[in-house]
Amino acid sequence: MTHEIFKNTVFCLKDEMYRFAKRFVMSSDEAEDVVQDLMLRFWQKKEELTTFGNLKSYALRAVKNECLNRLKHHTVKMGFADFQMHRSELYHVEANNMKEQIIGFINQLPEKQKTVIHLKDVEEYEVSEIAAIMEMEENAVRVNLMRARQKVKEQIQNLMDYENRVIENF
């Protein structure tokens, strides 16, 4: 595999890999490190990469595994800005910003549901692609997606009910 082919087939996935890694490690710096390490490994194994059918699926599975390994070994660094964002999501400080509220609701989901909803609704992958990335059955992906969306919907409804009660009492 030449440098140009690598750039057009593997390196072009770096942005998606970064966004996916950031969902796991919650730190921009750590997500960049994950992608950089994987790109280096992919370059070292560039000849083997041609044997994989779906390179995007392979790359995102590698991101998932690398992030889980780092989390397991507690090597994840959380920057101050990332910590502040995470803390504000936990305590719902920004009640007026619905986008941040929804992100907070998604981040509270179990890991599989969080990953599936991110891949489907943010990255816009097909269920079959998500199944390959997550190493799950397509039916399991659909169930996790449905449950994740239902939980987020319930939390949004609870938030709206609460805000309506506060406005009425004000």
Looking at the fold, whether 72 and 83 belong to one and the same domain comes out as no
Lowest mean pLDDT, pick from 9-13, 44-48, 79-83: 79-83
Looking at the fold, whether 91 and 156 belong to one and the same domain comes out as yes
Looking at the fold, whether 92 and 160 belong to one and the same domain comes out as yes
Looking at the fold, whether 67 and 115 belong to one and the same domain comes out as no
d(CA 145, CA 153): 12
pTM here is: 0.52
> Residue 82 pLDDT > 60, yes or no?
no
Boundary of a domain, candidates 44, 78, 112: 78
Chain segment 31-69, per-residue pLDDT in tens: 899 999 998 888 888 888 777 777 888 888 888 888 888
140, 130 contact by CB (below 8 A): no
CATH of the domain at 131: 1.10.10.10
| Matching residue, tokens 């999501």 | 89
Looking at the fold, whether 88 and 169 belong to one and the same domain comes out as yes
Angle between helices 138-169 and 127-134 (to 10 degrees): 100
Boundary of a domain, candidates 33, 50, 78: 78
Lowest mean pLDDT, pick from 47-61, 87-101, 106-120, 129-143: 87-101
Looking at the fold, whether 25 and 73 belong to one and the same domain comes out as yes
CATH of the domain at 34: 1.10.1740
For residue 165, what pLDDT is reported?
A: 60
Looking at the fold, whether 64 and 115 belong to one and the same domain comes out as no
Looking at the fold, whether 141 and 74 belong to one and the same domain comes out as no
Looking at the fold, whether 43 and 92 belong to one and the same domain comes out as no
Domain that holds residue 21: 1-78
d(CA 121, CA 114): 11
Chain segment 122-155, per-residue pLDDT in tens: 888 999 999 999 999 999 999 999 999 999 999 8
Quick one: which of 23, 67, 133, 156 has its CA closest to 141? 133
Boundary of a domain, candidates 33, 57, 78: 78
Chain segment 22-32, per-residue pLDDT in tens: 887 777 888 89
d(CA 35, CA 67): 10
* Amino acid in the structure at residue 81: A
The residue ranges of DSSP E strands in the chain, in sequence order, are: none
Looking at the fold, whether 43 and 102 belong to one and the same domain comes out as no
Total domain count for the chain?
2
DSSP letters along 7-33, please? HHHTGGGHHHHHHHHHHHH--HHHHHH
> Residue 93 pLDDT > 70, yes or no?
no
